Amino acid sequence: MSRRLISLLLSVVMCGSLVALGPTPASAATCTADGVNCKVGDVGPGGGIVFYDAGSTQWWGRFLEAKTTSVPANGIWGTSSGIGTQAQRIATKQLGMGRGNSVSMAFDSNSVYTRQANSAFRGGFFLPSKDELDALYNYWKISGDTRLQYHDAPMWSSTEASATFAWYQLFQDGTQFTDANGIIPKLAGNKDFLMSPVHVGSGFKAIPFEVIGVSAFPNTGANWPTSLNAVAATTANPSCSAGGANTVCNIGDIGPGGGIVFYDAGKDEYWGRYLEIAPKSCEGVKIPWRPAGNTKTVYRETNGQTAAEMRLLAKGVGMGKVNTRIITLALGAGSYAAKYAEDLNCSGVDDWFLPSKDELDLAYNRLAQNRVGGQDTPVGGFNKGYYWTSTDYNNTTAWTEYFMDGQQFDRVQTLSGNNKPPANPFRVRPIRAFGTNNVVLSCAQGGTCKLGDIGPGGGKVFYVAPDLLVANGKRARYMEVSTNPNIGEMSLCDRNPKVLPTRPGIGSGMSNTKILENLCDNVFSVDQYVIGGKSDWFIPSIEELVLAMNFLGRTASGEYWSSTTIGTDQARSRGGQNEYGRPRYYSLDFLPVRAFG
């Protein structure tokens, strides 16, 4: 797959996503404490900026707002430990836990929360949990909200990792650390740090810690639910493992794919409802993120969105399947993490993928606890070493999760293991998503399709839109190309009309064709030809044509029209590996395409 084609795919993937995930920063609306008519980007009831919406009321509320400035910590994180067991500390990482964590810190007169109670945390604000702080970082970076004046500095969270370590986040690049368990050798704790330590290879200098106040609303007054706790043992639940329309799963159940259910979205999302992680028997060992010598670009700036913004979007829950497809299209053949996951057939199921950064962290939080020393975990059999995620960091490194304690680090993509302690090979534990729909239709019947399937119009499916695109409702999910159109050569448009330039991108072919139909004679008509019982075929845009020709192997001979015009009297075509600008009245072949799903 060429760099050009990767760019074409990403232009579709990311089209409109920043609007959906990063609201307009200029919003001046003010939310009330009950959250009615509130949205991300509004001014919250405490005067901060709303940066997170859970979509519905949770045990802790629905919205999170943050103060618009970060302030120096002016001292240590704290001295006392407010949380008991390691499993309980893991739970305090999650969304909704910042308020309770801060209450525990209030009993420590030396804590940063107590010290800043009348400044950074005044008015009901608290020190955010690890995941709340990360959600704020993501909003700040993706939205470009200029009202948020945060420094590129390490920010404390309210989540303890142990009696002597606490979680913090570098607002330089989003990495969250505790620096425990040998990440910084011989380090006994970090709660007494005034500055972040220097990490070898990062290039970031030691900088004093800062804090940001966060608040949750509406305040439900509910207690910490047991559903946040780690799983002590797996459970056999036929209502889960059988799948189908009556699927009901609990965290820890054995799923339909023989894995362990570790996440429930609460309702069917565009990607499904539940996530399960494959059993240990299907784990890949000593596998790199990309093959050695493969330097192909996975993400680059597209349609005004930077590669860095795309990588932030790639962290989220629901993105693992999208990421995996983007990676394998970009990198092509070889032995590497995403390809291993995508090609895996485990327990008779073949729709596994490499988890995103946040998806793998959820699996760690719920399943990878109760480890005894350096042994594999009792639940899931997870090694203490590093597991790859599908989230790219900078096209040279990618995010991993250290399953000894849940710290996530970017590691060089071509590595298959550590050369220095902890000297373990890097591992791949695929996951899969599923919902509650048991109606199984073939691709030709309008069901789920994969590349190469026969579509409803009898053509071959040559494009499957990543799920982020489908979630935002911007395009159809699939495109098929007719393999036997029997149309023959004809001109695209007559000589007379002046045609404005039409668009080149994926998703543009249908609208381009309609424009040409209205202006030109002798143009291929979407309702003139019925192929496979369908009359909604169109002339592909140049980018759609490139994908279709490459898929069909028609790059060795033949030249075909696209519906992308150049200026007022030429259009783009492709023959072999080359693209041309031809007068519109040339006679060339067509490859009819249709979108569906």
Element counts in the chain: helices (H) and strands (E): 14, 22
Summarize the confidence of residues 15-39 as an average pLDDT. Answer: 57
* 346 against 442, higher pLDDT: 346
Q: What is the pLDDT of residue 17?
A: 29
Q: Exposed, middle or buried, 441 (CB in 10 Å: 0-12/13-18/19+)? A: exposed
Structure tokens that stand for 159 in this block: 């989540």
C-alpha distances (whole Å) from 246 to each of 176, 254, 433, 440, 545 are: 39, 15, 16, 14, 42
**Which amino acid, one-letter code, is at 258?**
G
At 407-439, the pLDDT tens digits run 999 999 999 998 765 568 999 999 999 987 545
Look at 26-30, 321-325, 388-392 and tell me which has the smallest mean pLDDT.
26-30
Q: What whole-number percentage of the chain has pLDDT above 70?
A: 88
At 321-367, the pLDDT tens digits run 989 988 998 899 999 999 999 999 999 999 999 999 999 999 999 99
- pLDDT of 466 > 80? The answer is no
Q: Where in the chain is the domain with CATH 3.10.100?
A: 442-597
- Residue 41, classed as helix, strand or coil, is coil
Which residue in 210, 220, 211, 223 sits closest to 100, CA to CA? 223
Q: What is the pLDDT of residue 449?
A: 84
Q: What is the pLDDT of residue 1?
A: 32
- pLDDT of 440 > 80? The answer is no
- pLDDT of 60 > 90? The answer is yes
Q: What is the pTM of this model?
A: 0.71
What are the residues facing 170 on neighbouring strands? 154
At 265-285, the pLDDT tens digits run 888 887 889 999 999 999 999
How confident is residue 379, by pLDDT bands cut at 50, 70 and 90?
very high
How confident is residue 20, by pLDDT bands cut at 50, 70 and 90?
very low
At 292-316, the pLDDT tens digits run 999 999 987 765 667 888 888 899 9
User: Contact 560/550 with Cβ under 8 angstroms?
Assistant: no
- Residue 307, classed as helix, strand or coil, is helix
User: Contact 344/332 with Cβ under 8 angstroms?
Assistant: no
What are the residues facing 531 on neighbouring strands? 534
* 506 against 525, higher pLDDT: 506
User: Contact 227/91 with Cβ under 8 angstroms?
Assistant: no
Q: How many CA atoms lie within 13 A of 373 on its CB side?
A: 2
- pLDDT of 12 > 50? The answer is no
DSSP state of 530: -
Q: What is the pLDDT of residue 448?
A: 75
Specify the CATH number for 442-597; select among 3.30.450, 1.10.10, 3.40.720, 3.10.100.
Answer: 3.10.100
Summarize the confidence of residues 450-466 as an average pLDDT. Answer: 88
User: Contact 89/70 with Cβ under 8 angstroms?
Assistant: no
Report how far Cα 457 is from the mean position of its chain's Cα atoms: 32
Q: Exposed, middle or buried, 28 (CB in 10 Å: 0-12/13-18/19+)? A: exposed
Q: What whole-number percentage of the chain has pLDDT above 90?
A: 56
Q: What is the pLDDT of residue 187?
A: 92
Scanning the structure block, which residue is given the tokens 């909200």?
145
* Other beta carbons less than 10 A from residue 338's beta carbon: 29
C-alpha distances (whole Å) from 66 to each of 19, 39, 87, 122 are: 20, 14, 28, 12
Summarize the confidence of residues 379-393 as an average pLDDT. Answer: 96
In whole angstroms, give the CA distance from residue 342 to residue 48.
Answer: 42
At 230-277, the pLDDT tens digits run 899 999 999 999 988 789 999 999 999 999 999 998 888 878 899 999
Computed over every residue of the chain, the mean pLDDT equals 86
